[in-house]
Amino acid sequence: MRGHIDRGASFTAAFKTFTYSLTSFLSLAPKAIDAWKADLTSKGRAKVSNTIADPKVNPELFEEGWEAAVEKEERLLSEGALVEVS
């Protein structure tokens, strides 16, 4: 189910999104990071949460080509070359 991030597994979701790139959908990285940061904040770890960079907020901190990779993901999805698995 694309687009759903379980807050209980927020760190794992964020980590895997970056680690496995297209196989885990780069476009979901901001959503995974939001869930991870919200989870940390709700546990009283706001300082830690504030240190986590987000590609939609801090694009300069991410590898060159981030936007191109997300665009490629979307193109592959639309062409059926990349399949969502739930």
> pLDDT grade, residue 18 (50/70/90)?
low
* CA-closest candidate to residue 12, choices 1, 28, 27, 46: 28
pLDDT value, residue 1: 43
pLDDT value, residue 47: 95
Mean pLDDT within 75-80: 83
Higher pLDDT, 46 or 85: 46
CA 3 to chain centre: 10
Mean pLDDT within 23-42: 80
Higher pLDDT, 21 or 66: 66
